[in-house]
Amino acid sequence: MKRTSKKRTIRTWIVEDNDMYRQTVAESFEDHPEINLDQGFSSCEELFQHLGHDKNTPPDVMLMDIGLPGMTGIEGVKELKATHPGVQIIMFTVYQDNDRIFRALCNGASGYLLKNSTADDIENAIYDAVDGAAPINPQIAKKVLEMFFAVQPPSQNYGLTPREKEILELLVEGFSKKKIADHLFVSFHTVDSHIKNIYTKLQVNSGNEAVAKALRENLI
């Protein structure tokens, strides 16, 4: 289901070496009033060359292929987050293996989608990313859980309430704030308040950081 944003237009770029796929994604947002996908690149090198010019400011959201020639998407995420930490990066891939998922998330990716995702899936992922959620394909979320649970460090007590743990678990599963509110039959404001408390207790600043910490430290 399509969503609308009350925020300013979301500037979005895509890095994808498959010209046809890149064009298809770009065309799906040509007439979109709130998502402006105005730049496309075939490699990370091309992206960083573009960003090297003083007048070219980074976008709000970056859609990035993981299997790029030259610098990979995993390496690109790390460099982009180091130079432009405010950019939300959503990975595109045909892969579902745990190692790639782990490295992309640890390097700062905000979310992860398979390339067979629909235009609505991509749109909702963009909204989720700017809202501080961690958009993750359900199949990939399951693999991430399997990977992290295979190596479980001792759990720490951050003083999370049962409700906060429940919401954190839903964030790990890729739920947006709106979906969490609908699932728990509470208001969006209530969920937003709980998530802010979770961020404070875990000492994180975003949804993807909370998800990574929850998985890394076995908090759910």
Tell me, rounded to whole angstroms, the distance of Cα 124 from its chain centroid: 11
- Please state, in angstroms and rounded to a whole number, the distance separating the CA atoms of residues 107 and 73: 10
In angstroms, the CA 205 to CA 138 distance is 23
Rounded CA separation 173/33 (Å): 29
**pLDDT tens digits for 49-98?**
999 876 778 999 999 999 888 999 999 999 999 999 999 999 988 766 66
Put simply, whether the predicted model's pTM sits higher than 0.95 gets the answer no
Domains of the chain with bracketed CATH: 10-137 (3.40.50.2300), 152-216 (1.10.10.10)
**pLDDT, tens only, 86-131:** 999 999 887 666 677 777 878 888 888 888 888 888 998 899 888 8
